[in-house]
Amino acid sequence: MKTSSTRVVVTNIIIVLMFVTLIGLGVSNHIALYVQADDRVYYSGNTENNNVSFMINVYQNEDCVRDILDILDSFKVKTTFFVGGCWAVKNIDLVKEIYTRGHELGNHGFFHKDQDKLSYDANVEEISMCHKLIQENLGIEMSLFAPPSGAYNKTTVDAATNLNYKTIMWTHDTIDWRDQDERLIYKRATVDLSNGDLILMHPTAKTVQALTQILSLAINNGFNPTTVSNCLN
């Protein structure tokens, strides 16, 4: 009996030690993540004003882009469209229309690569090719870069910064490219909406269906939907 009790005590001690070790590892990982945080990467904007941005990343679905432009016009809202270079090459007239209708253009790379897996030079190439395309066709200098799939590392940010770009992530991700559900897109875009929030969207049919309700809720709750640059200021 005594031996059995001793084994129970020893087992419990081992479990406690393992638990403490896991906590310690968790704390260490959080510290490491904090230390590696990069203030050149923006997950939200200025929280001292009521601006929010429903930003659109574009590599496809031209018809949906046009529908989104019409809805934004109906609300007199301007936002930021991050365009992929290989898409923009084939749709340069639509890119020009986005810009002439008063919206901000951002850089979304050229071939939608996971840029955290690229060398410094390859990161520079991806960003520069898209930049050059827009510069030559519209005569503007973009300054905001949204990494495709949100994939970035220090090398990516270094490349973007050296090309005079701010690296833009998001506060809310609607995941509308995957989940074709109007109610889910609406919920993800609006739940706990706060000053300075950046809401990631794409030109999908369900996003188009949800957008009017999303903008109505934001405006009715005192938020000002605007461009990413205005959110950062």
180, 66: one domain: yes
CB atoms within 10 A of CB 11: 10
Instruction: Provide, rounded to the nearest whole percent, the portion of the chain with pLDDT above 90.
Output: 83
Res. 37 pLDDT band, cuts 50 70 90: low
Report the domain count for the chain.
2
Identify the weakest region by mean pLDDT among 36-45, 54-63, 121-130, 169-178: 36-45
151, 224: one domain: yes
Residues of the domain holding 158: 41-232
Q: Read off the pTM.
A: 0.83
52, 125: one domain: yes
222, 115: one domain: yes
Reply yes or no on whether the pLDDT at 82 is more than 90: yes
28, 87: one domain: no
Reply yes or no on whether the pLDDT at 33 is more than 50: no
115, 64: one domain: yes
149, 125: one domain: yes
Which residues, listed in sequence order, are joined to residue 198 by a DSSP beta bridge?
A: 53
Query: What pLDDT, on the 0 to 100 scale, is given for residue 64?
Result: 98
pLDDT digits (tens, 9 = 90+) for 115-149: 999 999 999 999 999 999 999 999 999 999 999 99
33, 52: one domain: no
Q: What is the 3-state secondary structure (H, E, C) of 150-190?
A: HCCCHHHHHHHHHCCCEEECCCEECCCCCCCCHHHHHHHHH
Q: What is the CATH number of the domain that holds 118?
A: 3.20.20.370
The C-alpha torsion from 159 through 201 and 37 to 123, rounded to 10°, is -20
154, 189: one domain: yes
